[in-house]
Amino acid sequence: MCSHPDHVILQNHIEICIDCGLMIRTVFNPSEMKLYVDFQKENIKYPYTRFKRFQNLVNCVVYGFENTNDKHMLKELATHRLDNVQDILKVMRSSPLVDKRYCSLRYFIKCFLPNYDFGHTMNRFQVKEKELLRTFKDIEFQLTRRGRTFINYRFMLDVLLYFFDLNEYRVFIKPLKCVKRLRNNIKVLNNCKIITVGGKALVIPEIFQMSQKSLFLPVGDPI
């Protein structure tokens, strides 16, 4: 069961936790049904899926694509002089915005530090992207089948990048601070007993740490 306090009810009457993505229950009240003419007045909204959320995270973290949720932080950053990554992070951390958009660090670097050397291309990731996303779907299926709370998405992406030897892209992920939470995620993931398309078992060491080269960490500061 989900113990987080923040839930939201989607238009398809499904109540979900905005922290872990767990679908809590289906909420349906006939008195709230809308007529067809009412739906004509609204924009089409696609149902929430964990896979779509994970894909969006990949697009932000790995590719550095623009996201509509970035606009407020972009305005905030544009009012400051930004000479390096730490300048960007300093503004993001001190911002009064609730959503700091840490997942979009790569995009902000592309916007404000045009000469930044990322040190890699997207080719290696693109070769393994399909298998990585397929592995996520397998994990999602196993967790849903077992009725388990879903794993933190940042942790999931970091683990899969690690597993598929794509460590250069992990630097744009903000590590989890809570060691207990990290160990619990590792345990839940290993219990899924995932076998990838290539026939390799997805087993994460208990001593696994999220990227120690993360740009979110002070230089020389281990997790």
Mean pLDDT in runs of 10 for the chain (223 residues)? Answer: 64 60 57 50 67 96 94 95 96 96 96 93 94 95 84 95 96 94 94 88 93 82 39
Task: Classify residue 207: in a domain, yes or no.
Answer: no
Q: What is the pLDDT of residue 202?
A: 94
Task: Classify residue 103: in a domain, yes or no.
Answer: yes
59 in the same domain as 23: no
- CA-to-CA distance for 110 and 108, rounded, in angstroms? 5
Task: Classify residue 74: in a domain, yes or no.
Answer: yes
55 in the same domain as 35: no
Task: Classify residue 198: in a domain, yes or no.
Answer: no
Q: What is the pLDDT of residue 221?
A: 40
Residue finishing a domain among 93, 112, 131? 112
35 in the same domain as 72: no
Task: Classify residue 17: in a domain, yes or no.
Answer: yes
65 in the same domain as 99: yes
Q: Is 41 exposed, middle or buried (0-12, 13-18, 19+ CB in 10 A)?
A: exposed
- The model carries a pTM of 0.76
Task: Classify residue 154: in a domain, yes or no.
Answer: no
70 in the same domain as 105: yes
Q: Provide the number of structural domains found in the chain.
A: 2
Residue 94, domain extent? 51-112
Is the Cα torsion angle 140, 48, 128, 174 positive or negative in sign?
negative
Task: Classify residue 140: in a domain, yes or no.
Answer: no
One-letter amino acid at 171 equals: V
Angle (CA) 107-134-59 rounded to 5° is: 10
Angle (CA) 154-157-163 rounded to 5° is: 140
Q: What is the pLDDT of residue 222?
A: 40
Q: What is the pLDDT of residue 168?
A: 95
Residue whose entry in the numeric block shows the structure tokens 């779907």: 137
Strand-pairing partners, residue 23, are 16
- CA-to-CA distance for 71 and 165, rounded, in angstroms? 32
Task: Classify residue 105: in a domain, yes or no.
Answer: yes
59 in the same domain as 76: yes
